[in-house]
Structure 1
């Protein structure tokens, strides 16, 4: 799915870009390979969209990976925890598994940003930024 979004010279986002929403990791990889380094990836958009609004970054393409289901989840793997990169900070904060077995992680994500940011921000996005 893709759109050409022109919000140039608006107070919302001061630039024009093509917007894509891949449904799978394979589709996202193909898109990013095709679009090259001018493509910016978002999931929650809590960092990139602020930079775009401020005029610091002017992407030609935005690839929103939020619809890729296999990149979500908190799964107990016995001696370790699997956390999908699109899992939000709020999902980690509210996970009973994280609360009970990984208290340091729970405390860390509970202290990050506001409640609204934790509902949008992904763990993968925070690690990348």
Structure 2
């Protein structure tokens, strides 16, 4: 019996309509950008064509501090396609200083020692020459 062909790790697909292209362009330079609603003076995550607070397009991109705290996590043992060689890995929700919650991978950590409220900081994982993806690690 032959081995099943391993799926490659999927790359992001920037979307002009959903307004994700500026995020990925900044990520290429290792800068984490968030949309900011100028009407409500609040950040939003994930990128969208309009503000979740005002329903208007009065948005701009602002660089995030890269600081946050761990909200919750899971130690992933059964990967989704393209991530087989990464297990185990930690998938987490992080509350950023800017007031948004972001889904990320945690790196350079022992999953058994994680705790709610743990300070974390931004790091980067290079997926290709065109794509870096934000990840976080304990501060």
Which has a greater percent of helix? 1
Question: Normalization by structure 2: what TM-score?
Answer: 0.25
The normalised TM-score by structure 1 is 0.26
Higher strand share: 2
